[in-house]
Structure 1
């Protein structure tokens, strides 16, 4: 399944693709659509928990305020904050939960087309992970 919402990176507004992978029901792949897109694979529970407060200790950290959710991506000594509209991130988390309820990661892919008409299902992450 692939969904797209927008984030602010620096002073640019960019689309960010989120893919849910059949092979890993606990993870989500996130790819900011930039000049050199990189896909980040991390636990989808970070997005949900990040709506309530700061989470993450590694390369991906999530925190939120009243109107925004910030996903901080770190690689080596560099970091890049992606600032999302909170309501869009809440909608994304709700869609992920409808497809595969948190805590019940056994996926019934037969429901996907009914829940999300027109959504593309993916077996792998495009461009690698």
Structure 2
């Protein structure tokens, strides 16, 4: 399984009513959080900003509008680029990224944890921590939620 994580540099454009700004972000996936991906904005000297959202939301957003909360993802007509809308109490921002790097990223994540296999990874972590006598910090994935 290697390092259990994958990360890409992702070129995005921030789109406003008056301008488009090019930027390089990072998109990260780690098997320790098998349901989530993290979009990282490095603010050159300032604190970095991280948006964590569902891997399934990203995958669904490549073909149709996905998400209804803080993060929305959808394809342009014709399927490229892919748009991201990020919302917070202080406002919203819209970004665009190429579809191909997102597809490649998702393919790498699925090599680490196949879609549908996330619960098995969490169960393995829980039981391994229990066997080693430590606190896993996780509740059993077999308990009713």
Shorter-chain TM-score range: 0.7 to 0.9
Whether the aligned pair in 1 keeps the contact of 2:39 and 2:50 (CA below 8 Å) is yes
Question: For the residues of structure 1 that align with 2:113 and 2:25, how far apart are their CA atoms?
Answer: 21
Q: What's the TM-score, normalizing by structure 1? A: 0.74
Distance of 2:109 and 2:30 partners within structure 1: 11
Whether 1:93 aligns to 2:106 is: yes
Question: How far apart, CA to CA, are the structure 2 residues paired with 1:14 and 1:77?
Answer: 21
Q: Is the counterpart of residue 7 in structure 1 residue 12 in structure 2?
A: yes
1:56 to partner: Cα distance: 0.5
Give 3-state SS (helix, strand or coil) of 1:19's partner: strand
Q: Rg bigger for which structure? A: 2
Contact 2:31–2:113 (8 Å) recurs in 1:
no
The answer to whether the 8 Å contact 1:61/1:71 transfers is yes
Corresponding position of 1:70: 83
CA contact (8 A) 1:14 1:33 kept: no
Aligned residue pairs, count: 107
Query: How many Å separate the matches in 2 of 1:34 and 1:73?
Result: 16
Whether the aligned pair in 1 keeps the contact of 2:31 and 2:112 (CA below 8 Å) is no
Partner SS state of residue 39, structure 1: strand
The Cα shift of 1:33 comes to: 2.6
State the 4+ residue runs in structure 1 displaced beyond 3 angstroms: none
Q: Which runs of 5+ in 2 are unaligned?
A: 122-145
1:55 matched residue in structure 2: 66
Q: Determine if contact 1:14/1:34 at 8 Å carries over to the other structure.
A: no
- 2:51 paired residue number: 40
Q: In structure 1, what is the Cα distance between the partners aligned to 2:101 and 2:34?
A: 21
Structure 2-normalised TM-score? 0.67
| RMSD of equivalent CA atoms | 1.6
